[in-house]
Structure 1
Amino acid sequence: MNRTTMLAAALAALMPMSALAQDTAPTVSEAYARSTNPKVGAAFMTITNNGSKDCVLSAASAPDITDRAELHTHVEENGVMSMVEVDSITIPAGASHALDRGGDHVMFMATKAPMAQGDEFELTLDFGDCGTVPVTLSVDNDFAPAGGHDDHDHDDHSHDDHSHDDHSHGN
């Protein structure tokens, strides 16, 4: 065994196993936050997994604005849209996944202060073996989705008790 081969073997032994699990961390684009009422907000973005293995978003944190950042989605049941908390969101290898209003998103419950237009804060996305991804979010309460309507309006809902029964939306 020559010296170069021994050095390469020694470096490989020192490499953490998590680095072998995924060749690249997911990337985030088009990220912004939106306030839905003085105590609740949400984050939306596109997550791209350029790696060779699926990445699972299992947690989010934004300690500057809340102690309760949660992963949510919308489901339709009997013609009524309801928001529900989910344990994780999978981003398939080589694919992108949008966190959009009316779909998967990060929810900020019981915010420490209202999220004002133009505010910026840090959000950390935890993808487990794929690593953590820090994201700087700007609050954009003026953004309207294609079609010009807001299908993620929570202005008349209370989230302080975290009851998902209060998240129903009629279509």
Structure 2
Amino acid sequence: MTKAFIRSALRLAAPALLAATLVSTPALAQDGKTVGDITVSGVWTRATPPNAKAGGGFAVIENKGASDDRLVSADSDVAESTELHEMTVNDGVMKMREMTDGIAVPANGTLELKPGSYHVMFMGLKAPLKQGELVPVTLTFEKAGSVTLDFKVERIGARGPAQGKDGHSGMTGGGMKKMDGMGQGNMDHSMTGHGTKSN
């Protein structure tokens, strides 16, 4: 009776376990896509508050080629428009600018899209980004071409993907706001705008 019960339970559980594996596989497979000499990995974004109009996307882009390339555009259906931006903070003033000519990816080098620096900007979000979702984003390079990846949505205020090296993803607080300039929940994009005085 006990063995029969265990066999029956395993038969019922097996499809659920298989489904869970299949659901998680696409997110894992997205880490490390290559097009030409370019490899894109560590892709993620942050969850946004309900009324947020914008959000940021981040990634590590490695150029294994002998010549420079450029990230020239980004595109995603989650927003009215998707742009490449740079954020800087000078004398406590936060400034954002669109990189209309793209962003250089040096030969045999790495470009990091990260909070407080270069990033993908989702303008005019059609719906809030929710933790755990996957956001399809197409990155286009001048020489290598285009690659589409699923950016995993991390918690509001995250400083990196959940599997990040520093182990501090998801941390929030005033100190973090000053360190990365992004604030909590994409504050630079959705709540304050360009050229805003930081706290």
Question: Do these two structures clear the TM 0.5 threshold for a shared fold by scoring above it?
Answer: yes
Contact 2:53/2:189, CA 8 A, preserved across alignment = no
1:74 Cα deviation after fit? 1.4
- Give the ranges of 4+ consecutive aligned residues of structure 1 lying more than 4 Å apart after TM superposition: 145-148, 156-159
Q: TM-score, normalized by length of structure 1?
A: 0.73
Change (3 A) 1:157 1:91: closer
Q: Which runs of 5+ in 1 are unaligned?
A: 1-22
2:43 alignment partner in structure 1: 31
Query: Shift of the alpha carbon at 1:75?
Result: 2.4
Q: Deviation of residue 163 (structure 1)?
A: 6.0
Structure 2 unaligned blocks of 5 or more: 1-34, 161-165
Q: Distance in 1 between matches of 2:76 and 2:146?
A: 13
Q: Does 1:40 align with 2:54?
A: yes
Describe the superposition over 1:40-79 as per-residue Cα deviations: whole angstroms up to 9, x where unpaired: 211111100111211101110012x013111111123444
- Provide closer, same or farther for how the CA distance between residues 89 and 132 of structure 1 changes in structure 2, counting only shifts above 3 A: same
- Match among 148, 152, 159 for residue 144 of structure 1: 159
User: How many residues end up aligned between the 2 structures?
Assistant: 144
Is the alpha carbon distance of 1:111 and 1:58 closer, same or farther for their aligned partners in structure 2, counting shifts above 3 Å?
same
Higher helix share: 2
User: Secondary structure of the equivalent of 1:60?
Assistant: strand
Cα distance in 1 for residues equivalent to 2:122 and 2:86 = 13
Maintained 8 Å contact 1:25/1:132: no
**Which of 63, 77, 95 is equivalent to 1:49?**
63
Q: Is 2:118 the counterpart of 1:104? A: yes
**Secondary structure of 1:114's partner?**
coil
Partner of 2:80: 67
RMSD: 2.5
